[in-house]
Structure 1
Amino acid sequence: MRTDDRTASESAAGPSPHVPAGRSVAELTIKAVLIGLALNVVMLTANMYLGMRSGMTISASIPAAVISMGVFYGLRRVGIGGTVLENNIVQTMTSAGEALAAGVIFTIAGVTFLDQPIDIVNTAVVAVLGGLLGVLFMVPMRRYLIVDRHEELPYPEGTACADVLEAGSRGDEGVKLISFGFLVSFLYMWLANGMAAFRTTIQTAFSVGETDGFAIGGDFTPALLGVGYIIGPRIAGYVFGGGLVAWLMLIPLLITGGFVPESAADAALMAQADAVWDEYVRYVGAGAMIVGGFYAILSMRGTIVDALGTAAAEIGGSGATADAKRTQRDLPMKVVVVGAVLIALALVAVPQVQVGLVGGFIAVIAAFLFVAVSAYLVGIVGSSSNPVSGMAVATILIAALALRSVGATDPVVVLMTASVVAIAAAVAGDTSQDLKTGQLLGATPRKQQLAQVIGIALSALFAGWVLSFFDRAYGIGSETIPAPQAGMMALISEGVLTGTAQWGMILIGAVFALVLILMDVPVLPFAVGIYLPITLATPIFLGGLLRAGIDRYVERRDDEEGSLAERTTSRGRIVAAGLITGEAIMGIVIGALYVGGIGNAEGAPFPLGLAGATQATLGVVALVALVGLFAASVLWNASESENA
């Protein structure tokens, strides 16, 4: 229960905080920083794997909060306790790694598609500059978005994280749930990829009458199922709808019309469908993302203007910096302005960044605009649905056209420019969720912002190494980690600069997006579905359907207050996070075996030698068991736990 110890001004500014502004509680302590740094690296690695595998990342805030409570619970037994605000610092630092991972894998990973190696130093420099821009540009927007518009922008994950941290009694149960999901996923993927006991991928292509090239299938793994459950049936349905448009409409039309690349003309029908998707249909998704990104900016114009006004007022001494309340203390605006200027100079002057004067100017301006877009959008749909890739696509188009006009020919320069923007946008979305959690708990914004800076610095140091590891283990762009967004970014960058971009397909995607806007349908989830392989969109949709089925079942048993439904949703998110983390960690284990020379990318380190038909049959059995275990873990004793 939240305390009522608050002032009238605090009441007007939003909900009563768990820790009142006049009370001093330990926050940014050494133990909180150390735990946060350790979890930061784990979540960075897990989300890099997940993002390159599925094209999506998830917010690490709630899993980090649950794990942090478990760690502090263990420390409490030896006489070292932790406050709720220390827990908040841990999840703030941890989620910084997840956010930075999204920006890196959606853009910098694209250099591998341009036959360039992953440069660890370059990645670290670009990542830290983009991440710091995201934190700094969010400072003048915090009061306006987090405090003043608290009723309009719920920040679902930030609010949920605050509830988890505030309800300390859920700590033990939460650790058990996330551990269960982790173990199930870890063993599932070991049997599938470590021992080749069953197949996770089922796909087929077929003809109907005189129309060829219909394709459907799925890579049914725990992580993809968990992603679908977290984003819910609505967004998962939009993603799957985009996949159906691509693989059951556009690709059959193109194949039947003779638009099959020469390299795949004599291949099997499924291979032809893959080639057409790679050559043409991905550009349709890119066109839709571009329009969706610009539409988001247009929708945000009022917020951007208001944030600039707030910043100017604070620098002039007439704004909120005069507020002495602990819960309203941000980093000083002078620090923000000086920091942004120094970063802009570094983008131009530091050789490892490679963006030049034009690229640096575009990166800073676009970063500010998309930080506003990102912070606003996650207030509505949450961080896991933050369309960072759409913002990066819009930046790439602008940067490529501008750089081409001044004679630039290297698409890597375009990618580096877009990476700064993508990382800044991803970090801003995460920062805004964390600041909402802090507002509800009664944290000090300045200390959270400093925790974000520390987390960004560590994540940047590890990002290039982790990216290089996955490239060596699996090959970025391979079937295991297709890195769809990174491939699209490289495709557009090179295409615009060389004049080979499929502008006709981009225009088709743009028109399709305009139609969706007129119909008031979310553009970016559809665009992602068009761009993703159908084998990724299908299991995500299955996870969404599982969420819908569990929600419907719970609604029939719930009371008028809906407490059981809320409890079940929270349990499901935690188990899903465990599934995602377990698969990601197993991906690291198997990747390490490959790097060490055990097994190969085409087989498994310790194959059982089962026949293909047997593997397919066992794959269906394993999928049914996975869905059953997931549902059982969410529903088991949920009502009793609520009453406890």
Structure 2
Amino acid sequence: LGIGFIVGIEVSLTMFAGSILSNFGIMPLIGYFSSLGKDGATVWNNPSVAINAMHVKNIAGSYVKYIGAGMMLSGGLIGAIKLIPTIVSSIKETMHAKSSNGAGSSSVGNIILLGGIVVVFIAGFVVSGGNILLAITASILSLFLSLLFVIVSGRLTGTIGTSNLPVSGMTIASLVLVTLLFVVMGWTNPANNKSLLLFGTFIVTAISVGGGYAQSQKVSFIVGGDKNEMQKYFAISGIVGVIVVVATILLLSSQLAMTGDNVPFALPQANL
């Protein structure tokens, strides 16, 4: 309802239609065909449950949920492909504006940018267990993708607003590219997966913050606010937000890792 209220009735109806399809179409079909399964066949991610003896919760948790995740990935990729013309035009407009405007960026902004680059490199190096090649290549690719999609995010904010930014599509496209790098280089163990998620988090944060920053700049210009003051407090709020979110996740990390039917603090989407 919240998303539908923000972006319109079409999205809310699409989400509702997806729920109807999954509960009254896909789930009964899987239940019917699974009941025809041979004895000895088990659920792919739960060997203790026989295919022909699955309950609704087994079908939903082991099949329908992953079908939904695949549909979300497909939607993100389709959205990313549709964004290609916008990406190209955004880069052209940005380069044109940069060349026609002699004003440079502020020193505070440059310091924050350089600090972010250093932090993401060090974090990637530490999480990867000291893999310097992974840290360098993934950092460069993540920074490039962040720069690319922040340009798109900023331009779309000026046209459709930050609430309608296709953040998921840009994030999924970025994750696919970073994942391809990891697969090609053979970085596929659990420790490397943590590094992959770290760089993905860096990219999606850059995209989201880029949209929010552009929105704040737009509002500051309209109300006659001071740009430097806005930049300063926006940076402070970002740092405070990171500290609060990371601290909360660390405090709840043991509970977030729990899976099952009756866990005290269940977040199924965090364990997909």
Specify if TM > 0.5. Answer: yes
Match of 1:395 in 2: 174
Letter matched to residue 363 of structure 1:
S
Q: For structure 1, which runs of at least 5 residues remain unmatched after alignment? A: 1-224, 322-329, 489-644
Corresponding residue for 2:18? 242
For the pair 1:435 / 2:217, whether they are aligned, the reply is: yes
Question: 2-side partners of 1:380 and 1:478: how far apart?
Answer: 44
Higher helix share: 2
Please tell me whether residue 361 in structure 1 is matched to residue 137 in structure 2. Answer: no
Residue 467 of structure 1: aligned partner: 249
Q: How does 1:487-526 map to 2 (within 5 A)?
A: 487=271
Of 266-275 and 410-419, more deviation after overlay is shown by 266-275
Deviation (angstroms), 1:239: 2.5
Summarize the Cα distance change of 1:420–1:353 in structure 2 as closer, same or farther, 3 Å threshold.
farther
Report the residue type matching 1:482 in the other structure: L
Aligned residue-pair number: 249
Q: 1:395 to 1:267 in 2, by over 3 A?
A: same
CA distance in 2, matches of 1:460, 1:474: 18
* Counterparts in 2 of 1:275 and 1:406: CA distance versus 1, 3 Å: closer
Give the secondary structure class of the aligned counterpart of 1:300: helix
What's 2:131 paired with?
Answer: none
Report the AA paired with residue 92 of structure 2. Answer: V
Q: Which amino acid aligns with 2:152?
A: V
Change (3 A) 1:445 1:461: same
TM-score of the superposition, structure 2-length normalised?
0.75
Task: Judge conservation of contact 1:378–1:386 (CA < 8 Å) in 2.
Answer: yes
Q: Does 1:482 align with 2:271?
A: no
Cα deviation for residue 432 of structure 1 reads: 1.7
State the match for 1:418 in structure 2.
200
Aligned-pair CA distance for 1:254: 4.1
Contact 2:27–2:59 (CA under 8 A) maintained in structure 1: no
Q: Which has the larger radius of gyration?
A: 1
RMSD between superposed Cα atoms in Å: 3.2
Please say if residues 121 and 139 of structure 2, whose CA atoms lie closer than 8 Å, have aligned partners that are also in contact.
yes
CA contact (8 A) 2:149 2:207 kept: yes
C-alpha separation between the residues in 1 aligned to 2:231 and 2:105?
7
**Cα pair 2:259 2:266 within 8 Å, conserved:** yes
Counterpart of 1:273 in structure 2 is: 60
Corresponding position: 1:370 with 2:146: no
**1:288-315 Cα distance to aligned partner (Å, 9 max, x none):** 212212322432311122213333x2xx
Is the aligned partner of 1:292 residue 2:65? no
Write the letter of the residue equivalent to 1:453: A
1:261 counterpart letter in structure 2: V
Closer/same/farther in 2, CA of residues 245 and 293 from structure 1, 3 Å limit? farther
Q: Does 1:343 align with 2:119?
A: no
Per-residue deviation, residues 6-59 of structure 1 (Å, max 9, x unmatched): xxxxxxxxxxxxxxxxxxxxxxxxxxxxxxxxxxxxxxxxxxxxxxxxxxxxxx
CA apart distance, 1:361: 0.9
Task: Please give the TM-score of this superposition, normalised by the length of structure 1.
Answer: 0.35
Counterpart code for 1:423: T
Does the Cα contact within 8 Å between 1:297 and 1:369 map onto a contact in 2? Answer: no
1:397 to partner: Cα distance: 1.1
In structure 2, the CA distance between the partners of 1:483 and 1:451, relative to structure 1 (3 Å rule), is farther
Displacement of 1:345 after TM fit? 4.3
CA contact (8 A) 1:344 1:361 kept: no
From 89, 98, 101, the equivalent of 1:302 is 89
Q: Which amino acid aligns with 2:137?
A: V
Match of 1:448 in 2: 230
The Cα of 1:438 is off from its aligned counterpart by: 1.1
Deviations 1:34-89 (A, max 9, x none): xxxxxxxxxxxxxxxxxxxxxxxxxxxxxxxxxxxxxxxxxxxxxxxxxxxxxxxx
Summarize the Cα distance change of 1:304–1:275 in structure 2 as closer, same or farther, 3 Å threshold. same
Alignment of 1:128-277 (within 5 A): 225-258=1-34, 261-262=43-44, 263=46, 264=49, 265=51, 266-277=53-64
Change beyond 3 A, Cα 1:273–1:422: same
The answer for the alignment partner of 2:185 in structure 1 is 406
Q: 1:288 and 1:255 mapped to 2: Cα distance?
A: 26
Whole-Å separation in 2 of the counterparts to 1:230 and 1:277: 27
Code of the residue aligned with 2:12 in structure 1: it is A
Identity rate of aligned residues, in percent? 18
**RCO comparison, higher one (Cα < 8 Å, 6+):** 1
Residue 331 of structure 1 contacts residue 446 of structure 1 at CA under 8 Å; is this kept in 2?
no
Distance 1:473 1:341, change over 3 A: closer
Aligned residue identity for 1:277: V
Q: 1:401 to 1:443 in 2, by over 3 A?
A: same
**Distance in 2 (alpha carbons) for counterparts of 1:360 and 1:431:** 22
Alpha-carbon distance, 1:344 to partner: 3.0
Measured in 2, the distance between the counterparts of 1:438 and 1:376 equals: 16
| Aligned amino acid, residue 446 of structure 1 | N
CA distance in 2, matches of 1:470, 1:383: 30
Residues 121 and 135, structure 2, Cα contact 8 Å, conserved in 1: yes
| Range that drifts further, 342-351 or 432-441 | 342-351
**Do 2:87 and 2:149's aligned partners in 1 also have CA atoms closer than 8 Å?**
no
The SS at the match of 2:54 is coil
Is the partner of 1:408 in helix, strand or coil?
Answer: coil
Shift in CA distance, 261/342, structure 1 to aligned 2, threshold 3 Å: same
